[in-house]
Amino acid sequence: MSDSASTPAPDGSGPAQLPEKARPIAAGYAFTGPALDLGALLWDGVCHPEAQVRVPLPMLNRHGLVAGATGTGKTKTLQLVAEQLSAQGVPVFLADVKGDLSGIARPGQGGDRVSTRAAETGQSWSAEGFPVEFLALGGIGHGIPVRATVTSFGPVLLSKVLGLNRTQEQSLGLIFHYADTKGLELIDLKDLRAVVAFLTSDEGKPELKGIGGLSTATAGVILRSLTAFEAQGMADFFGEPEFDTADLLRLAPDGRGLVSVLELPAVQDKPQLFSTFLMWLLADLFHDLPEVGDADKPKLVFFFDEAHLLFHDASDAFLDAITQTVRLIRSKGVGVFFVTQTPKDVPSDVLGQLGNRVQHALRAFTPDDQKALKATVKTFPDSPYDLEELLTGLGTGEAVITVLSENGAPTPVAATRLRAPESLMGPVDPAELDAAVRQSPLYGRYAQAVDRESAYEKLTAAQAQPPAEKPRAKREKAPAEEPSLVEQVVGSGMFKSLARSVGTQLGREITRSLFGTARRGR
């Protein structure tokens, strides 16, 4: 089913001239409302441009999966869908793992291959760039820095980044609870490390007894994990100014949706970090967006590349939280597309929430590959195609597609030759990218890191008090009613300010979500 084995149908041929078995498939994609054009139907190695395979725009918030072996065209599929969403006024978020999606900002380059593809798929191709905002985790890269405070990131997501087990994750949750109730703001990693170090110190150990059984040994493990994490250069990802996820929902002046491209090549060797950071973005959006129900078009479509990294070694609680977030965020108008190599990379409970599917070719070189192929075939609706043969014979830029129709029912399985993106299929020049970033309206808000007073500074100041102001020496038994060091510090005048960026007050515990992430007002 490769390009070389197929020829386009004659111009002017109508759906009635399709092979009889292919006609119900073509009819299943004849939508009347706004839709994205994905490509043309393939049948018996022939591409039929008169039979367009499409996905209704209102159904893009019903989530989806883009899967396929390396080199089969998944990245170009993301680019194609992102372009059409932007053109219809829908903001898009793209995780650029390989560093080749920045070209969406510039017009594409024509040529024989593009012209042939356009003729085969019935596409009126024209070179066009789209409005793009370039982002980078913690400023490692060319884009606008995307940072999160430790408080808003929360203990569940941070536990996954640190590689903590279930017991340690629960203990980290207690530490967050303690910091919340004591008014010790956790802005960056040194704040959290300062709180854990205090709780494992001679002065802080009594505090452990009041927060639900946190052992000194477990606190020590968390402290060592934080220290190692910082040593790997991860401190830049946490801090202020924290990125406001509402900035992902903007439109360009011409009404097109803004395409936010998060540059990730610089953190490819830190897969848990970037996959978990993407989950934080989703969780933050989930907190803040109002319910919209079924809308004419999504508020945002979020592409989660290398999705298998998110689910690798994840705890049951973490997977449950992902499943619930994916299930509920649809009603907030946000569509989520997971991009990975095989559907088995995504847990079945999450896979069951995905209504749209673009399956590129699979390889079957080993017994494990054969097993994965058979499992993938079973996840599709009944089809007149021999899917096992089809999925191993698809060429680059071809896919098996099924989506949700305008009434929410699955469409017939359609082998499809996908259209060519109209923007540049490759990265833009780094100097050009840097110039675009400096001209961004977000540059002044996020480019410069800010380090304000938080838990680290407060605990350091408390420990630096003159001896006369410190609690009595250990050899003198303090009265039972004497407050601990942190209680004295929190009760002092210098901690009475309302300094929390998340809108909480001193002594009031932060309201947290499924992931333990903090809610914050816009």
Q: Which DSSP string do the residues of 183-240 spell out, in sequence order?
A: T----SHHHHHHHHHHHTSTTTHHHHTTTT---HHHHHHHHHHHHHHHHTTGGGGB-B
- Could you tell me the CA-to-CA distances from 79 to 27, 168, 203, 365 in Å, in that order? 26, 40, 56, 29
pLDDT value at residue 163:
86
pLDDT band with cut points at 50, 70 and 90 for residue 510: low
Average pLDDT, the chain: 85
- Rounded to two decimals, what is the model's pTM? 0.84
The pLDDT of residue 2 is above 60: no
Q: Which residues contact 356 (CB under 8 A, 6 or more apart)?
A: 55, 59, 60, 62, 63, 64, 65, 337, 402, 403, 404
How does DSSP classify residue 280?
H
- The DSSP code sequence of 304-348 is E-STHHHHTT--HHHHHHHHHHHHHHGGGTEEEEEEES-GGGS-H
pLDDT > 70 in the chain, percent: 86
Kindly state the tokens that stand for 258.
Answer: 């803004």
Q: What pLDDT sits at residue 498?
A: 28
What's the order of all strands across the beta sheet hosting 35-43? Answer: 46-56, 35-43, 414-418, 398-402, 356-359, 64-67, 334-340, 300-304, 92-96, 259-263, 132-137, 144-146
pLDDT of residue 93: 96
Q: Residue 513's pLDDT band (boundaries 50, 70, 90)?
A: low
CB 498 within 8 Å of CB 262: no
pLDDT given for residue 316 in this prediction: 78
Task: Determine phi and psi for 431, rounding to 5 degrees.
Answer: -65, -40
Read off the pLDDT of residues 382-432 as tens digits, 9 standing for 90 and up.
Answer: 899 999 999 999 999 999 999 999 999 999 999 999 999 999 999 999 899
If you average pLDDT over residues 474-497, what whole number do you get? 42
Angle at 290 between CA 61 and CA 334, to 5 degrees: 20
pLDDT digit string, tens, across residues 341-359: 888 888 888 998 999 999 9
pLDDT band at 372 (very low <50, low <70, confident <90, very high): confident
pLDDT at 511: 58
* pLDDT at 344 (0 to 100): 85
**Residue 506: helix, strand or coil by DSSP?**
coil
Q: Give the C-alpha separation, 326 to 311, whole Å.
A: 13
Query: How many percent of the chain have pLDDT more than 90?
Result: 54
Of 455, 514, 490, 495, nearest to 191 by C-alpha is 455
Q: Is the pLDDT of residue 493 over 60?
A: no
Residue 379's H or E segment, with its range, is: none
pLDDT digits (tens, 9 = 90+) for 437-479: 999 999 999 999 999 999 999 999 887 776 555 555 444 444 4
For the ranges 34-38, 200-204, 239-243, 395-399, which has the lowest average pLDDT? 200-204
Residue 490's pLDDT is what? 41
The predicted pLDDT at position 342 comes to: 87
Confidence (pLDDT) at 474? 45
Residue 12 is predicted with a pLDDT of 39
Cα–chain-centroid distance for residue 165? 23
The pLDDT, as a whole number, for residue 492 is 38
Please give the Cα distance from 331 to 337 (Å, whole number). Answer: 15
Please give the helix or strand (H or E) that residue 450 lies within, else none: none
d(CA 325, CA 276): 14
Query: DSSP class of residue 294?
Result: S
- What integer pLDDT is reported at residue 494 of this predicted model? 34
- Could you report the per-residue pLDDT of 76-86, keeping only the tens digit for each? 999 999 999 99
Question: Residue 337: its pLDDT value, please?
Answer: 95
Q: Which of 25, 13, 9 minimizes the C-alpha distance to 390?
A: 25
Among 86-90, 163-167, 498-502, which is the least confidently predicted range? 498-502
Q: pLDDT tens for residues 252-303?
A: 999 999 999 998 876 667 777 777 888 899 888 888 899 987 889 999 999 9
> What's the one-letter identity of residue 334?
V
Q: Which of 204, 212, 200, 139 is nearest to 173 (CA)?
A: 212
- The pLDDT value recorded for residue 512 is 64
**Among 289, 287, 291, 267, which Cα is nearest to 277's?**
267
Looking at residue 234, its pLDDT comes to 81
